[in-house]
Amino acid sequence: MRVFLIMAVLGCAAPLASLAFQPAQQSDLRLVFLAPWQDAETLARSAGGRLVGPQRAVLAVLVHTDDPAHFDQQARDLGAFGVLDGAAIAALCGVDV
């Protein structure tokens, strides 16, 4: 049972670590991490962006913005846990942006 648990944790940690250590880019697609009880659409709109795609994850959303640097700071000020370049998650999933 321990071996299975360790393998499961390592299997989840590798993709998340690759996201965390992506080089800084400035694409107009942002990956915003937020609490499940926060309204993603309101946060995105208030920070100067709009939600992308029909699917939303529990703890993150993809947002398009015209001013990534301003959006990143505004999103954090509005309660987002973190903001990364959205191209990183697309690359992790094998999608070219």
Contact status, residue 92 vs residue 20, Cβ threshold 8 Å: no
Residue 82 belongs to a domain: yes
Residue 97 belongs to a domain: no
The residue range of the domain holding 27 is 2-92
Count the domains in the chain: 1
- pTM > 0.85: yes or no: no
pLDDT for the residue numbered 88: 75
pLDDT for the residue numbered 95: 54
The 10s digit of each residue's pLDDT in 24-38 is: 456 888 999 999 999
Closest CA to 33 of 50, 58, 14, 15: 58
Residue 75 belongs to a domain: yes
